[in-house]
Amino acid sequence: MNKVTVLLALSLLSVSLMGCKEKKTNDIIVSKVPQRKGPAPIQHMSEYKDIRTTEWLGTTYKVDVRRSYDTSLPIVHVDDNRYYDNQVKVRILRKDGTEFFSRTFTKSNFKNWLPDKIAKNGALLGVVFVEASGDCLNFAVSVGSPDVTSDEYVPLVLKLSRYGVTSVSSDQQLDTSSNKSDEGDDEEVTD
C-alpha cells in the first residue's frame, strides 16, 4: 500500500504542477496613466494667395493679395476654440514690375466699421480684388468668425485710388461683382 500511496501522491503532484504551468502570451498589461486635459491647440485659417492682372488707367497692373495667420496678433475666441488672427498683404505692381502700392492689413484697419462682437471675437477673413473702376481699384473685405462652419461676417469695400490712398466703406450689397454706387461712409485708412 505504501507503493500505491506514493504513486498516487506523485501523480497528484504532477497533475497539480501541470495545472500551475504559466501560459505565455504577447499581451502586456499596463495600467493607463490618466492624461491631463489642457487647452486645445490654437487653430488658424489656411493661407492663400491670389495674383491677377487688370487693365487700369490705360496700362496693365498685377494685383497680388496674400493672407497668412499672424501669431503676434491677439488670439480670437469663438466658443471654446481659439484662433490666430490673419494679416493680408496687398501689393500692386506696374507693368515694368515696379511697386505702385504695398500694405499689410489687419482687423484693426477696419475696426471703425465693425460691431463690437466682431471687433473683439472676429478675424480678418480676407481681402479680394474685385475690379478696376474709374480711378480706383476695388476690393471686397470680410471680417468675421474664423470658424469654417460659421457664416457670420461683415462685408466691407476697400478702394485704392490712383494716388495710393485707401478708403473703406460698408458694403451695402453682398454681391461684390455688381456695380456699386459711391454712396456710403467712406473714410481714408491711414497707416
The pLDDT assigned to 14 comes to: 62
Domain residues of the chain, as ranges? 48-189
Helix, strand and coil percent figures for the chain, each rounded to 5: 15, 40, 40
The pLDDT assigned to 179 comes to: 44
The pLDDT assigned to 32 comes to: 77
Walk along the chain (191 residues) in steps of 10 and give the mean pLDDT of each run: 60 58 69 74 95 96 98 93 96 97 97 94 96 97 94 96 96 55 46 43
CATH architecture of 48-189: Beta Barrel (2.40)
* Contact call for residues 128 and 149 (beta carbons, < 8 A): no
The pLDDT assigned to 34 comes to: 72
The pLDDT assigned to 164 comes to: 96
Compute the Cα dihedral for 139, 143, 145, 150 and give only its sign: negative
